[in-house]
Amino acid sequence: MVSERIRAMGSRHWLLLFGVIGTAWGLLYAMALPSDLRAAGQVYGLDFLTQLCVVTPDAAGLFRVTLMWCLMSAAMMAPTVLPALATYDDLAQTVPDTNFAHLFAGYLVVWLGFSILAALLQMGLFYANLVSLFGDSRSATLSSLLLMLAGLYQFSPLKEACLSKCRQPMMFFLQYWTDGPWRNGIRLGLVCLGCCWALMLLAFVGGVMNLVFMGIATVIMMIEKLPQIGQYLTKPLGIFLVASSVWVLLSGW
Task: Dump pLDDT digits (tens) for 235-248.
Answer: 999 999 999 999 99
Question: Contact, 70 vs 115, CB < 8 A?
Answer: yes
> Residue 33 and residue 52: Cα distance in Å, rounded?
12
> Residue 54 and residue 3: Cα distance in Å, rounded?
44
Task: Dump pLDDT digits (tens) for 182-236.
Answer: 999 999 999 999 999 999 999 999 888 788 899 999 999 999 999 889 889 999 9
CA 227, chain centre distance (Å): 19
All structural domains of the chain with their residue ranges: 2-251
> Residue 250 and residue 244: Cα distance in Å, rounded?
10
Q: Taking the model in full, what pTM does it have?
A: 0.85
> Residue 120 and residue 116: Cα distance in Å, rounded?
6
Which amino acid is present at 202?
L
Q: What is the pLDDT of residue 57?
A: 53
CA 196, chain centre distance (Å): 7
The stretch 18-42 carries a mean pLDDT of 70
Phi/psi for 46 (5° steps) reads -95, -5
Q: Which residues is 131 bridged to in the sheet?
A: 137
User: Residue 75 — very low, low, confident or very high, per pLDDT cuts 50/70/90?
Assistant: very high
SS (H, E, C) the chain: CHHHHHHHCCCHHHHHHHHHHHHHHHHHHHHCCCHHHHHHHHHCCCHHHHHHHCCCCCHHHHHHHHHHHHHHHHHHHCHHHHHHHHHHHHHHCCCCCCCHHHHHHHHHHHHHHHHHHHHHHHHHHHHCCCECCCCCECCHHHHHHHHHHHHHHCCCHHHHHHHHHHHCHHHHHHHHHHHHHHHHHHHHHHHHHHHHHHHHCCHHHHCCCCHHHHHHHHHHHHHHCCCCCCHHHHHHHHHHHHHHHHHHHHHCC
Q: Which of 32-36, 98-102, 152-156 holds the top average pLDDT?
A: 152-156
> Residue 47 and residue 40: Cα distance in Å, rounded?
9
CA torsion angle 148 151 152 157 (round to 10): 150
- Greater confidence (136 vs 193) lies with 193
> Residue 137 and residue 221: Cα distance in Å, rounded?
22
